[in-house]
């Protein structure tokens, strides 16, 4: 499975500084998912401008409840 950094470098327009920041955020986002009883997803743009396609870089499920998605 590809890492967040690998996906971001290959499919998004994010620079290394932004990728490093997102890695820091996702390092502890499981707690936020648990506290909010919600799935969290992380999308990044693949091109500049409004309406640009997005790529899914990450997803975390809460351990405190059921997930919203039936299949992932």
Arithmetic mean of pLDDT over the chain: 89
Q: Please give the model's pTM, rounded to 2 decimal places.
A: 0.79
33-66 in b/e form (b: 16+ CB < 10 A) is beeeebbbebebbeeeeeeeeebebbebbbeeee
Q: Count of domains in the chain?
A: 1
Kindly give, in sequence order, each residue whose CB lies less than 8 Å from that of residue 43, ignoring residues fewer than 6 positions away: 54, 55, 56, 57
Which residues of the chain fall below pLDDT 50? none
Asked if residue 67 belongs to a domain, the reply is no
Asked if residue 21 belongs to a domain, the reply is yes
The candidate with the shortest Cα–Cα distance to 41, out of 65, 61, 17, is 61
Specify the pLDDT at position 68: 65
Residue 4 CA to residue 65 CA, distance in Å, equals 24
- What is the span of the domain harbouring residue 31? 4-60
């Amino acid at each position: 499975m590809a890492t967040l950094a690998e996906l971001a470098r290959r499919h998004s327009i994010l620079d290394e500084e932004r990728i490093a920041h997102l890695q820091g955020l996702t390092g502890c986002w499981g707690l936020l998912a648990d506290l909010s009883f919600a799935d969290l997803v992380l999308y990044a743009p693949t091109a500049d401008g409004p309406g640009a396609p997005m790529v899914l870089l990450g997803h975390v499920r809460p351990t405190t409840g059921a997930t919203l998605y039936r299949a992932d």
